[in-house]
Structure formats: structure tokens, C-alpha cells
Amino acid sequence: MARPSSNLTMFHEDFAKAKHIAIITGAGVSAESGVPTFRGQGGYWRKWQAQDLATPEAFSRDPSLVWEFYHYRREVMRSKMPNPAHLAIAECESRLSKQGRSVVIITQNIDELHHRAGSKHVYEIHGSLFKTRCISCGEVKANHKSPICPALEGKGEPDPSSKDARIPVEHLPRCDRRGCNGLLRPHVVWFGETLDSDILTAVEQELEKCDLCLVVGTSSVVYPAAMFAPQVAGRGVPVAEFNMECTPATMRFKYHFEGPCGVTLPPALERHESEAI
């Protein structure tokens, strides 16, 4: 199997011909904005790793602790900004839409940085830190309050010596739908949960019609997203990977551009002479 190319001129030729571009993004894009990934060595909040807290069982057992963790993550995001990779994707989407071409972003990230960068056509397959879901009535709602409820103000300090807040469940975020008042949970896909079938179906339709696919800042090990780009490559569509290192899927792709996405992606997506005005 031939090694993927890192020839930007060749990539631009495929880019110029593409009518519908799918961009799959993962934690590596957000990491360049300073967003903690909670993966690998040092990926702890207090003494916990994300997989210890991001489960339905953990929330059922200790909703106060889980909400402290997510409150901390929400507050951290208030100081983080989209980086050049997010901005390049948003600019590309806007520019190509004026040429009758389309860009769709399929992200595993829950931080909404693509939206803040200006992207419009975004599928958040793992949900969002800034949406809640009521465990009683099921209502999903955007929520950008800071703090999300009074009892969580000043809570969520990640230091291992920090004491758990032990907030009574009635003081945790509650549903404001008339007559409900159910306990809210973060609208994110936790370990052991399945992805939203409607979103997955929509994503599959986007991937079936794309004629160029970019994989940006993702390790290609988290399923089902890990199979998206290989499936596209399997039907002969060019796939370009932008990542800090090779991944298990790299050899299936036509292109591989190594380095920080904020450095490698902008020159790949910028306007060039072959584009229509």
C-alpha cells in the first residue's frame, strides 16, 4: 500500500474539484485551544479520569460530583477561543457556500468551538457541554449560564485535595419546563451510551455524498467515528488526514499532513487560483 502523500499542490487539485467536503474533527483541534482532553497520562480531574465520571452509573450514584466535573469544564471553556484550525474551517465553509459548494463539519468535540468560530453546518455527534437534557421529561435545551445553578458557583476545582461539594440533588440544575422540575444532566454521550440515531443517519448521508473528506485532530480510535473516513476512502474518495502523528487509519488515506492542525490546515483550506470567484 502506497504511503499517503503530503503534497499540498496535489491536495489543492482535489480540493478545487470537490463539491461537498466533509470535515471530521476530534480532540486534537480543541487541544490546540488549550482545552483539556482528559485522555492519556495526566488526564485527571481530582483523582478521577473522565471515564470514571462520564457514565450514566456515575451520575446515578453521585450527580453532585458529576455536575462539579462538568461545571468545571464549562467554566474552563469560557476562557478558551477558537484557534486557526477552527477559523480556517469556518472561513472555508463560508467561502465555498458562495461558490455553490458545501462543507459539513462532523465533530466528536463537545466544546462548541466550531460554532464560535462561525461554522454553521455542524453535527456534534457526542453532544455539547452547553446543552442539558432533563432525565424526567427528556427536553434538550441550550444552556450557557455561568454558573449553571447557584449551588455550583465556585465549585469544581480540579485540585486532587479539593473536597467534593456534596450538593443536595434538589439544588443541582433542574428543568424549568412548566410542571417538571426534573434533574438535568449534561447533553453529552457518556461511556456506555449509544449515539443519537438521527444524527448518525444524517452523518452517514453526508459522508455518502461527499467527494472529499478531511480528518482533523482525531486519533481514529473512538468508534463509530473511527470508521467514517475509512469508509469514505473505501469508495475511492480522497481523504486527507491532518494530525500530530500517524494513526491506525493513516495508510488508508490519500494524504497525511503531520503537525499541529492550526499550522497545517489553514494553508490547505485557503483560497487559491483554481477557485471560482
Q: Tell me which of 115, 126, 187, 256 is the catalytic residue.
A: 126
The whole-angstrom separation of Cα 99 and Cα 16 is 11
Beta-sheet strand order (sheet of 20-25): 122-124, 102-107, 20-25, 212-216, 239-243, 255-258
Q: β-strands 48-49, 44-45: how paired?
A: antiparallel
Annotated ligand binding at 26? The verdict is yes
Annotated ligand binding at 236? The verdict is no
Annotated ligand binding at 127? The verdict is no
| Cβ atoms 121, 105 nearer than 8 A | yes
Annotated ligand binding at 39? The verdict is yes
Annotated ligand binding at 40? The verdict is yes
- E strand residue ranges, the chain: 20-25, 44-45, 48-49, 102-107, 122-124, 127-134, 140-142, 184-188, 212-216, 239-243, 255-258
Question: Annotated catalytic, 126?
Answer: yes
Annotated ligand binding at 110? The verdict is yes
Annotated ligand binding at 73? The verdict is yes
> In terms of residues, how long is the chain?
277
Annotated ligand binding at 32? The verdict is yes
Binding-site residue set: 26-45, 70, 73, 108-111, 134, 137, 175, 180, 217-219, 243-245, 261
Enzyme catalytic residues: 126
Report the binding-site residues for substrate.
70, 73
Q: Which residues does the annotation place in the binding site for Zn(2+)?
A: 134, 137, 175, 180
What residues form the annotated binding site for NAD(+)?
26-45, 108-111, 217-219, 243-245, 261
